[in-house]
Amino acid sequence: MRKCSLEKIDLIFAEIAKEAKLYLPADGADGKTKYTQWTEGVKWSNALNTVKSPKEFFFPQTEDLMSFKTQGKNIEIIDNRSETEDFVIFGVRACDVKSFDVLDRVFLKEPVDSYYASRREHGIIISAACTRPSETCFCKTFGIDPTEPSGDISVWKTETELFLQSNTDKGAELLKKLNSLTEECDETAVNAQKAEVSAIMDKLPLAGLTTDKFGAGKTKEFFDAPEWDTLSEACLGCGTCTFVCPTCQCYDIKDFNTGNGVVRFRCWDSCMYSDFTKMSAGQPRLTQKERFRQRFMHKLVYYPENNDGLFSCVGCGRCISKCPISMNIAKVMKTMGGQGK
């Protein structure tokens, strides 16, 4: 483990930015925290988390896949991808790092999504341990330790110092380039912070929330449960929860005629929308109740059924803080799992 004074943080950022584009959470003029490319003067935000998750670095909200140009009966297919730049994402919380495991199992399975795979290959993740967990956090429900974030490099921030530890070969190579700005150290200060934050986590409102009632093999038990009627009744179908969620992976592919050819692009979609997966035969889930049920059954039952028990939720709390009618996965789990209100 290595450390440096926080007074050197901009020097650390500048050194990393020499190697690749560096992105970190920064506070915008609108008061919202989002990932921003670092340039001199950009400050690392003290916010717990960004409004949108960093999944967009690997699975963008919109992206051009290819273009077509026709001349007579000839069709030219143009590969316009640009996922070849090296980049570093700094300050990723443990919950968001875990979300990449969920996405990897979708996009890196055969047939591999080459757009996603290329970005994963070129990206380096520097995670940051949480110091001030929020009342909306429940990452421990899914076995995530916010004081032990993974990634290529893990960092811990105290009042005066930054501690760094490499976890992968990519991380070790980058950390070695910071040797002149850092020094070897023990883990005393980090361990003290871990204990302090863990004690806070144990006192949060959702600390007792468990996944014991959910997982593989529970489809029959939950699919026709009467609780879906009342849980879904107030849902607006706005899709806010899916767009802030770090693990949602639904998308649509469309063609757009530019007048000078056709562009095929991919964009995020939501299972909460009435036209999601709509086909010529109609919509397979006709009611908001069915769409609502699909979202939460996928996270708590279907996904773990097909992915060795891994749940498709990381307890980041974004859906809790952003849902306009205060309906979220924690409420669903409490209701369906008999864990009280």
pLDDT at position 260: 85
CB within 8 Å of 5: residues ≥ 6 apart: 160, 161, 162
- What mean pLDDT is predicted for residues 132-137? 95
Please state the φ and ψ torsions of residue 235, each to the nearest 5 degrees: -60, 130
Query: Do residues 257 and 226 touch, judged by C-beta distance below 8 A?
Result: no
pLDDT at 73: 85
Cα–Cα distances in angstroms (integers) from residue 232 to residues 90, 142, 229, in the given order = 37, 24, 6
Q: How confident is the model at residue 99 (pLDDT cuts 50, 70, 90)?
A: very high
- The residue type found at 36 is T
pLDDT of amino acid 84 = 75
Q: How confident is the model at residue 91 (pLDDT cuts 50, 70, 90)?
A: very high
Does position 259 have pLDDT exceeding 90, yes or no?
A: no
Residue-level pLDDT at 21: 96
Given a cut of 70, whether residue 67 has pLDDT beyond it is yes
Distances (CA, A) of 110 to 105, 113, 250, 267, 309: 10, 8, 17, 21, 19
**Could you tell me the pLDDT band of residue 341, with boundaries at 50, 70 and 90?**
low
pLDDT tops 70 at residue 110:
yes
DSSP 112: P
Instruction: Look up tokens 């450390």; give the residue.
Output: 3
311-333 pLDDT, tens per residue? 999 999 999 999 999 999 999 99
Across the range 159-187, mean pLDDT stands at: 96
Decide: pTM greater than 0.85. Answer: yes
Check: CB of residue 210 under 8 Å from CB of residue 138: no
pLDDT band at 220 (very low <50, low <70, confident <90, very high): very high
Q: How high is the pLDDT of residue 283?
A: 65
